[in-house]
Structure 1
Amino acid sequence: MNNKTVIKTQNTLRTFITCSVFILLISRPIYASEGEHRDEDTRNAEFVLISDNMAQKMGVVTQKVSAGQLNITTTVYGNVVTDPASLSHVRARFDGMVTKVNANLGYKVKKGETLAIVESNESLKSYPVTAPFSGIVIARHANEGELSNGQVLFSIANYEDVWAQLKIFPQQLSEIADQQSVQLSLSEAKLNTTIQHILPSPDEKPYVLAYAKIANTSGRWPVGAAIKGLVTINKLDVAMMVPKAAIQEFEGTSVVFVKEGEEYHPVPVMLGQQDSNNIEVLSGLHIADVIVSQNSYLFKADLEKSEAGHDH
């Protein structure tokens, strides 16, 4: 073999090795060198590399780790009920004959609007029966030619203010009291309000009833609807907390993805108490670490996919 042939063979081999190493590198999970670890005991060497522009397009949201306050809650259930002050059963002032009816079931009426005309039996004079407040006619029992005779002619309700009626069972009584905060939810609607009253339930039921007022101008809290309430029973200050959505299970451990430049590292964490939105972090993170607070599952999926490819 002459020198030219040897040089050509060496160049071909060198090119083959370079290409093979490149292919191997891009098919493996990315690892940081030892010098890149801020904390050798808690930082995972494996990470996802992604540009800030691409992360934004993927809907990735980050935030800094900080101290905070957990709202410890207990769950209760109940229904939306009519505000007693916004329900009226309208009667005629004097017995007599109903000579005219102006309102029907479902009509929206204003305060002072004439609902019906009644002719008094004693004076034989006609007088109006009017709406005590603005609202909706939810029942009508008045017909022309009938006698009023003290019966309810109309029922009117105003649903702009309603109440949450929540069942509190004996094991919860020691934790729940007047003026405690409660978050109500119905489908996608959520509302923060306060327990105003706790009263015995009727018919000797094995629970008491807590009432919380709901502003219902939107109409999203219909009377009779089943609702869920989270009553705040304690407020707990914690040294570090993160959104629950930031936590992922990776390789059998709870992790949070920490952003370092354009690298996202799965960092194992020890967790403590939690509320409906946030969870205490006992160890693994540092104050001011930048973590993925939304869509962190994307990084978990990427690492698992990379590992699966590497195994093969």
Structure 2
Amino acid sequence: MNKNILIKKQNTLLVFIVCSALGFFSSTTIQASEGEHGKEEAHKDERVFMADSMAQKMGVMTQSVQTGSLNITTTVYGNIVTDPASLSHVRARFDGMVTKVNANLGNKVKKGETLAVVESNESLKSYPVAAPFSGTVIARHANEGELSNGQVLFSIANYDDVWAQLKVFPQQLSDIAEQQSVQLSVAGSSLETTIQHILPSPDEKPYVLAYAKIANTSGQWPVGAAIKGLVTINKLDVAMMVPKASIQEFEGASVVFVKEGDEYRPVPVTLGQQDNYNIEVLSGLHIADVIVSQNSYLFKADLEKSEAGHDH
């Protein structure tokens, strides 16, 4: 009798253990399923409220989601060089003595202006040495009483137009060609121009040189300055794109903050290809959604601060 009771208790205990185990795994599965569902829905309940007046003060900028084109680029580096047609080393036509010097280093001169006067050794007549074009005296090698004797007396340069000289290495050659658009940048200035020439480099260097002309009347592109160029090698049409600055990483996902009235909510997005400014959105948004394009980190910081407060 005692033996039967013992067996019955053991069986009951075994059933309890099995049932408990089954119940535990069932609960874990349910919780896991709810966790995945919750992850998808979590961002829908998160909001940041900010009046338009405050958003303006905080520098928040918005724009609509749009279709567009991505400019796929490759990066090249180089320097600003003088336009060969705008640099002249001025000599006297005939050998003789320099009797008068009118121009000095740094002077602005006009085309035809007299830079110096030379007395010819043969005729003993004086004749002017004139500026070949308008520009700046960047070097002076003439003084009164000296003999010209075929030497350079002045160097005149006009920097209204300069050239970007860009190094293109062998692995880039198949992508870069004349007439391609290139965006140049130096010391905070940038502009878009076109590659006009691609020429072999001197001294058998392991690259070719791409030349793009720059209008430099502002003087913001000094000769010799190091520059960066982004050459557009392909244009990709995309159904939706947003500025790269609008993307934030939040709770393990890439999100964009969508504005609805005074509410801003994080929307998870799937991203595709990108250029230097914009990125393709494959899913998560709709055309004409109003998103935060600048200073979206403010909303991310607010949500993270709120979550930290709840943890305590």
Same fold by TM-score greater than 0.5: yes
**Two-structure CA RMSD over aligned residues (Å):** 1.2
Counterpart amino acid of 1:213?
K
Higher helix share: 2
5+ residue gaps, structure 2, are 1-39
2:117 paired with 1:154: no
Shift of 1:42: 9.1
SS of 2:166's partner is: strand
Counterpart amino acid of 2:288?
A
Which residue matches 1:291?
A: 291
Q: How does 1:152-191 map to 2 (within 5 A)?
A: 152-191=152-191
CA contact (8 A) 1:42 1:267 kept: no
Shift of 1:161: 0.8
Equivalent pairs, count: 273
Shift of 1:45: 2.0
TM-score normalised by the chain length of structure 1: 0.85
Which residue matches 1:252?
A: 252
5+ residue gaps, structure 1, are 1-39
2:135 paired with 1:135: yes
Q: Bigger radius of gyration, 1 or 2?
A: 2
Counterpart amino acid of 1:207?
Y
Shift of 1:41: 6.1
Which residue matches 1:49?
A: 49
Q: List per-residue Cα deviations over 1:3-22 (Å, max 9, x = no partner).
A: xxxxxxxxxxxxxxxxxxxx
Shift of 1:60: 1.2
Measure the CA separation in 1 of the matches of 2:252 and 2:133. 62
Which residue matches 2:219?
A: 219
Shift of 1:183: 0.6
Which residue matches 2:66?
A: 66
CA contact (8 A) 1:42 1:284 kept: no
Measure the CA separation in 2 of the matches of 1:287 and 1:143. 71
Q: List per-residue Cα deviations over 1:218-253 (Å, max 9, x = no partner).
A: 111111111111111111100000001100010111
Counterpart amino acid of 2:250?
F
Q: Judging changes above 3 Å, is the alpha-carbon distance between structure 1 residues 98 and 107 closer, same or farther for their aligned structure 2 residues? A: same
Measure the CA separation in 1 of the matches of 2:282 and 2:160. 45
Shift of 1:300: 0.2
Q: How does 1:194-213 map to 2 (within 5 A)?
A: 194-213=194-213
Shift of 1:91: 0.8
Measure the CA separation in 2 of the matches of 1:217 and 1:261. 46
CA contact (8 A) 1:243 1:279 kept: yes
CA contact (8 A) 1:42 1:268 kept: no
Counterpart amino acid of 2:257?
F
Measure the CA separation in 2 of the matches of 1:119 and 1:233. 58
TM-score normalised by the chain length of structure 2: 0.85
Runs of 4+ that moved beyond 4 A: 40-43
SS of 1:85's partner is: helix
Counterpart amino acid of 2:282?
L
Counterpart amino acid of 1:269?
V
